[in-house]
Amino acid sequence: MTVDTTPAFASDNWAGVHPEVLDAIARANTGHAPAYGGDPWTARFQRLAKTLFGEDAEAFPVLSGTGANVLALQAALPRWGAVICASTAHINTDETGAPEKTGGLKLLPVEAPGGKLTPELVAREAWGWGNEHRAEPLAVSITQSTELGTCYTPDEIRALADQAHEHGMVLHLDGSRIGNAAAALDLSLRQLTSDVGVDLLSLGGTKNGLLGAEAVVVLRSGSAPGLPYLRKMNLQLASKMRFVSAQLLALYEGDLWLRSARHANAMAARLAAGLEGLATEGSGIGIAHPVEVNSVFATLPAEAAERARQRFAFGAWPTEPGLYRLMCAFDTRPEDVDALLAALAED
């Protein structure tokens, strides 16, 4: 079988599995172990979650980011509940309606500059409690880092959490790239979640080098009743869970998550600096959003973009003509970044 080794800037999902994670899977592949989470690896990850996020934390390994988001929100809300989110949120634009069709939840999207909600923006949809004609807003969901590559500060998250709790809502954080945000802000995972009032966390792993492993972490006890049963109903309960938990341990027990995220962020910063150097008057090259993590949103002339795409994989952003998203990963090499910049600079 021939494998395409073209350098990819399309998504950090395109990257392979980190060698340290593969080693962890191999080490877990020994003898028999209890299924469905009764294994030592899952128990160890449960203890690790309390170390990372606080003693109240309870972790549930799952198989996908979409599954984690749907499961967390479905467990937290009744059937008549609604979720306020940014219009650009992954749950609104990239999950094929899973929160609504599988989770049975109504989404209330709000236009959010830079992909970030504020209490003022949330207030546009935070109304109608007790009105049987409207789905009740009972959760706010934010993404860290956002789909546009921006980061919430702890103060911004705390303001949203306070507002949500004041109205009896929960705050859910889609943390598919939370490692990149923590690395960019030089903060711990706890400082971006439980310390600032987040109730439920979708803890990412796949975009940071895992084979296919995520987790729902309940940060406030009682905020997601029935989650163990819903995990099974939603096809997210792995029978051989030790191999999921072993990956999460490899990523989060030491500093692999941080090393990988810092590298991906650094490669994006290198790419952004190079693009700024190419952005002369009339070049048509520019950067559309602040580069805070491992994504670069660049405006590119069609001719230059198509020329570069013959040698490098990356995609056009669907909502804005001339805008392209360039993603870096744990295995992006400086020479790949430089080669892409050279291709864009060719006459």
Which CATH number characterizes residue 70's domain?
Answer: 3.40.640.10
Q: What is the mean pLDDT of the chain?
A: 96
Same domain (yes/no): 94, 168: yes
Residue 172's SS3 state is strand
For residue 346, the model assigns a pLDDT of 84
5 belongs to a structural domain: no
The phi, psi pair for 42, rounded to 5°, reads -70, -40
Q: Environment class of residue 55 by beta-carbon count within 10 Å: exposed (0-12), middle (13-18) or buried (19+)?
A: exposed
Neighbours of 115 (CB within 10 A): 20
pTM as predicted: 0.96
Residue 318 to residue 313: CA distance in whole angstroms: 16
**Position 73 pLDDT exceeds 60:** yes
Per-residue pLDDT of 233-283, as tens digits, reads 999 999 999 999 999 999 999 999 999 999 999 999 999 999 999 998 778
**Position 107 pLDDT exceeds 70:** yes
299 belongs to a structural domain: yes
Per-residue pLDDT of 272-318, as tens digits, reads 999 999 998 778 999 999 999 999 999 999 999 999 999 999 999 98
Same domain (yes/no): 60, 136: yes
Q: Which amino acid is at 170?
A: V
The single-letter DSSP state of residue 210 is -
Q: Which of 264, 275, 253 is closest to 340 using CA atoms?
A: 275
What's the token pair of residue 136?
Answer: 């009740």
12 belongs to a structural domain: no
What's the token pair of residue 246?
Answer: 């072993």
- Per the structure, the complete domain to which residue 55 belongs is given by 19-253
**Residue owning tokens 């967390």:** 72
Same domain (yes/no): 328, 221: no
**Residue owning tokens 């984690």:** 68
